[in-house]
Each structure stands twice: as structure tokens, then as C-alpha cells.
Amino acid sequence: MATNTASGVPVRTTPAVAPRSASFFESAKNRQQLEVWAIRLVLWAFIVVALFPVVYVLMISFKGGSPSLYSRSFIPDVLTLDNYSNLLEGNFPRWVGNSLLLGISCGFITVFFATLAGYAFSRLRFRGRRYGILLLLIIQMLPGTLNVVAYYRMLDEVSLLNTRIGLIAIFGFGGSALGVWLMKNFIDSVPKDLDEAAYLDGASNLRAFWTIIFPLVQPMLVAQFIFGFIGVYNEYLITTILLSDPDKYPLGVGVRTFSTQFNTQWTLFCAAAVLGSLPILIVFFLAQRLLVEGLTRGAIKG
């Protein structure tokens, strides 16, 4: 793992190459300019295609007229806020509330568990440490589609089927192995000397954790919370099976009732997609640095 990063990369040496002349240098500069313009062209082409759906949805969300099917042009003839006001009169605000409730609860539970366990895996020595995380990660590879049968039965057994509490239990407690793994890697990157110093001062594990580790991993906590929130926000398969009451749907599942194939309220759906995406987009870009670091520190280990 260590050897193939910095030191082990082979640098091929090609012997005896004629020194570059001045005129060659000139043309190399020109060629770089040309390269940069070619790259710009490719990037812009890619961006136009990639952002087409986003622009399209934004346009349609302000479109008046028949709410049902696609129309030939996606540039609205009349700009209107009708779609948005219709949305706010329906079930939409309730779905937003449900999503917030689910996402925030599950985010907190995930972060709490992942931090404690990540600390133990990173700093403490105990039996089962070596394969504990591997075991957690493998168990979590059960397809959710497999677990959902059992979830259904379990929630039914304790009369929590079709309740938001049941869903919070499943999502909050059911899925933090990846979080533990990322948190462990993050805590690994905090210098060991810091908590050694605390131990020398006579601090307990808990104290060392609370005063040394916790403040340093706060960026990761925020990142994990956001991941937890977005994970629940994006869940569809399990949610639709465990909830049957549209009043209890989170936003993404509720909005699906606008977009299904043969009964499409397309302009309404687009307005909902815009409203439902904006907060996530904003949070993502505000916290982007944390999120990227949180993921890549765990992912890139060399």
C-alpha cells in the first residue's frame, strides 16, 4: 500500500535526446495554446450536454398551460409561478417536513454511531478489531432489496409498519458501516501524539476522545451528517414498501406520484424537482470542501 505511491513509480529514462532548439520551443508554446482551446471545446460540449436536464427542468417549471404532457418546445411561452403555487397548496410542504424529519434524525444517529465506532477502530485495541470493519462492510452488502422483506415483517411485528419512526429506525440504525470506515480513516489521519499527550496528563479514553479527537473531526462529522441526510433523502425502494400512506412520504417518493409514466403532471413535477433540489444543491456547494475531503480521505489511501 505504501510502496506504490510516492517512491515506487517508475520514471522511464530515455537516453541521449537532442537538446531542443529555440524555434521548437516557440512552436511548443503555440501548440499548448491550441491544446488548451481544444480542451475548452470538449469541456464546453460536455457541459452543455450534462446541464441540459437541469436547464430543461428549470424552464418547464415556469411553464404555464396544460400541466400534463410534454410540449414541443421547452422554452415557456408564458412565464408563470402557477406550478409552484399549486405545489405549495398540495401535499408538497408535508413531504418536505417528512424529509426533514427523516433526514435530520437519521443524520444524527449515523454520525453518533460512526464517530464512536470509528474512534474505537482507529485508536483502541480489542479482539475482533482487525476483521470487525470488514465484517460490518460485508454484512452491509446485503442488497436492500433482500433486507426489505425482513424489515417489513419486523416493523409489522412491532406495529411500526407505515410509520415514520419505523423508517427512522431502519435507516438510522441500519446503515453506518461505510460511515464507520470513513470516520476511522479520518481519525487515523489525526496525529497520534496529540492523544498520547492527553494520556500522559492522565486523561481517560473518553476525555481524550472528547477534548482532542472530537474537535478535530468536526468537519468530518458535518460531512457525515450531510451524507446521512442526502442518503435518506434519495432513498426510494425501501421507503415505498414500508410506507403506504402518502401523507407520510418523504419528498422524493411523494413527487414520484407526479412523474409516473402514464399519469404525468410534468410541469408540476418539474417545479417540485426544482424546489426539492435547490436546498441540496446549496448545501452541497457550501460544504463541498468538507464532503470531498470526507470522501476522498477515506477513498484515497494509496
Provide DSSP, 77-91. Answer: SSB-SHHHHHHHHTT
Cβ-Cβ contacts under 8 Å for 74 (sequence gap 6 or more): 56, 59, 60, 63
**Window 186-205: residues binding other proteins (CB under 8 A):** 188-189, 192, 205
Q: Which stretch binds other proteins (CB under 8 A): 76-84, 90-98, 220-228, 265-273?
A: 265-273
217/251 with CB nearer other proteins: 251
Q: CB of residue 113 vs other proteins: minimum separation in angstroms?
A: 5
Q: CB of residue 230 vs other proteins: minimum separation in angstroms?
A: 7
104/154 with CB nearer other proteins: 154
| Number of Cβ within a 10 Å radius of residue 7 | 7
- CA-CA distance, 258 to 95, in Å (whole number)? 13
- CA-CA distance, 195 to 176, in Å (whole number)? 25
91/147 with CB nearer other proteins: 147
**Window 37-96: residues binding other proteins (CB under 8 A):** 39-40, 42-43, 46-47, 50-51, 53-54, 56-57, 69-74
12/78 with CB nearer other proteins: 12
**Window 125-184: residues binding other proteins (CB under 8 A):** 125-127, 129-134, 136-154, 156, 169-170, 173-174, 176-177, 180, 184
Does 241 engage in binding with other proteins (CB under 8 A)? yes
Residue 300 burial class via C-beta count within 10 angstroms: exposed 0-12, middle 13-18, buried 19 and up: exposed
Q: How many residues bind other proteins (CB under 8 A)?
A: 124
85/288 with CB nearer other proteins: 288
43/79 with CB nearer other proteins: 43
Q: CB of residue 79 vs other proteins: minimum separation in angstroms?
A: 19
Does 17 engage in binding with other proteins (CB under 8 A)? yes
